[in-house]
């Protein structure tokens, strides 16, 4: 099998998987419809771009379609950024202002109308042969790269902020999902980095063997990323539930207090009251407990409670609550009268709803797995 046939096979498999996953996302019944649709659009955009791997030569009989395919890449980074927003923020909705993200796509197509769409075939071919030397085309190439970097950085900032807000306000232990979103973003950037290498190789070595190998590597990376998207979707059917976009990290709400915190007697009393309440009332047994819920129960304003936990106690709300869950699980695991309970039954009983999250948190807190802890405790 030669290099082209190998690339053709790998790319065909990747495109099929992408389109199959996109179809699944568009048809599956779920409450996360917007996120699924945005991710499906992102996947289809990547599949359309990957069609280049199936072309041995320029499709001279379908010049307009090929030119339009070029323009799709101006929507892909924006669709990924909007997808990240929809995953990270539960109250995210598409608004008219989001149409601004289509301006580069529209501008590029207006440019193609002048040079390709509405001219005869000979003019199209003449335009295509010389367009890489045209200042306006070079501007659009630079614009695409600039926009990609901006959207990539913006996506990372959104993920980082939402993770901070999540840890400060929620306890449902599904943080592994947002870590998966981090990995998807990194893989997306690596895939784009190979595109940059291909451009650089073309500029330095021309359309030779080096560029050909990079294109093959690019096609394999496309298949790998596609399989990763599929694996992530299968492992996280309830993708990160999202936080409220109006919530801000506590350091943004009270930016100047962090460096000058003094634990006064009053704060010590509040901390002790909160600890006593957690031990006596056991609100952490509710797997969906949020800082708003706890605020109502202890009769402390949300902002004050968040400051007390995140700044004065120097813990995320997520870790603060899960420590009590782990302590409760430890009591059950070393209780001979409850040795018939399985680890799965115990984790649900103490407020967790995921075995992997429970095992991770338990080992982080005790240095042992729940099973090992029970063996040594009984």
Q: Write out pLDDT tens, residues 48-90.
A: 988 887 887 888 889 999 999 999 999 999 999 998 898 888 7
Other CB atoms within a 10 A radius of the CB of residue 356 amount to 12
Assign 214 a pLDDT band (cuts: 50, 70, 90): low
Give residue-wise pLDDT tens across range 280-315.
Answer: 999 999 988 888 899 999 999 888 898 888 888 888
Is the fold of 3-235 the same as that of 250-377? no
> Is pLDDT of 259 > 50?
no
Mean pLDDT value of segment 182-201: 75
Contact 218, 10 (CB under 8 A): no
In the predicted model, what is the mean pLDDT of the chain? 82
Mean pLDDT value of segment 352-365: 84
**CATH topology for the 250-377 domain:** Arc Repressor Mutant, subunit A (1.10.10)
Assign 236 a pLDDT band (cuts: 50, 70, 90): low
Least confident of 38-47, 211-220, 290-299, 344-353: 211-220
Please classify residue 38 by burial: count the beta carbons closer than 10 Å to its beta carbon, then call 0-12 exposed, 13-18 middle and 19+ buried: buried
Which position has the higher pLDDT, 32 or 33? Answer: 33
Report pLDDT for 240: 42
CA distances from 37 to 113, 263, 281 (A): 29, 48, 42
Which position has the higher pLDDT, 373 or 180? Answer: 373
Report pLDDT for 316: 86
d(CA 236, CA 32): 12
Least confident of 6-20, 297-311, 336-350: 6-20
Instruction: Break the chain into its structural domains and give their ranges.
Output: 3-235, 250-377
Write down the architecture of domain 3-235 according to CATH.
Up-down Bundle (1.20)
Percent of the chain scoring above 70 in pLDDT: 80
Best CA proximity match to 148, nearest among 227, 42, 37, 243: 42
> Is pLDDT of 29 > 90?
no
Contact 38, 85 (CB under 8 A): no
Give residue-wise pLDDT tens across range 129-177.
Answer: 888 789 999 899 889 888 988 999 999 898 888 888 877 777 764 566 6
pTM, entire model: 0.73
What does residue 356 show for φ and ψ, rounded to 5 degrees?
Answer: -65, -40
Least confident of 99-108, 173-182, 313-322: 173-182
Task: State the sign of the Cα–Cα–Cα–Cα dihedral 307, 309, 313, 319.
Answer: negative
């Amino acid at each position: 099998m030669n290099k082209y046939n190998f690339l053709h096979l790998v790319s065909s498999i990747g495109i099929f998987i992408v389109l199959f996953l996109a179809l699944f996302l568009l048809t599956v019944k779920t409450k996360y419809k917007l996120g699924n649709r945005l991710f499906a659009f992102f996947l289809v955009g990547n599949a359309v771009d990957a069609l280049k791997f199936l072309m041995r030569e320029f499709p001279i009989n379908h010049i307009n379609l090929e030119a339009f395919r070029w323009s799709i890449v101006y929507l892909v980074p924006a669709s990924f950024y909007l997808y990240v927003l929809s995953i990270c923020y539960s109250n995210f909705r598409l608004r008219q202002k989001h149409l601004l993200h289509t301006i580069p796509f529209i501008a590029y197509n207006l440019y193609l109308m002048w040079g390709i769409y509405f001219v005869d075939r000979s003019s199209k071919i003449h335009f295509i042969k010389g367009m890489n030397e045209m200042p306006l085309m070079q501007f659009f190439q630079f614009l695409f790269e600039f926009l990609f970097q901006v959207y990539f950085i913006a996506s990372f900032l959104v993920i980082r902020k939402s993770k901070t807000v999540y840890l400060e306000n929620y306890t449902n232990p599904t943080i592994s999902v947002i870590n998966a979103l981090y990995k998807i973003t990194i893989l997306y950037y690596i895939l784009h980095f190979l595109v940059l290498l291909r451009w650089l190789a073309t500029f330095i070595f021309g359309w030779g063997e080096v560029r050909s190998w990079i294109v093959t590597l690019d096609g394999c990376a496309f298949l790998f990323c596609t399989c990763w998207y599929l694996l992530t979707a299968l492992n996280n059917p309830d993708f990160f539930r999202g936080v409220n976009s109006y919530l801000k990290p506590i350091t943004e709400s009270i930016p100047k207090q962090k460096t000058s915190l003094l634990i006064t007697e009053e704060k010590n009393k509040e901390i002790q009251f909160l600890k006593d309440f957690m031990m006596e009332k056991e609100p952490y047994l509710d797997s969906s407990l949020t800082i708003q819920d706890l605020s109502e129960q202890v009769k402390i304003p949300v902002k004050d409670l968040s400051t007390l936990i995140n700044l004065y106690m120097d813990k995320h709300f997520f870790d603060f609550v899960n420590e009590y869950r782990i302590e409760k699980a430890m009591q059950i695991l070393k209780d001979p009268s409850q040795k018939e309970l399985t680890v799965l039954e115990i984790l649900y009983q103490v407020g967790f709803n995921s075995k992997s999250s429970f095992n991770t948190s338990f080992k982080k807190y005790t240095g042992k797995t729940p099973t090992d802890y029970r063996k040594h405790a009984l």
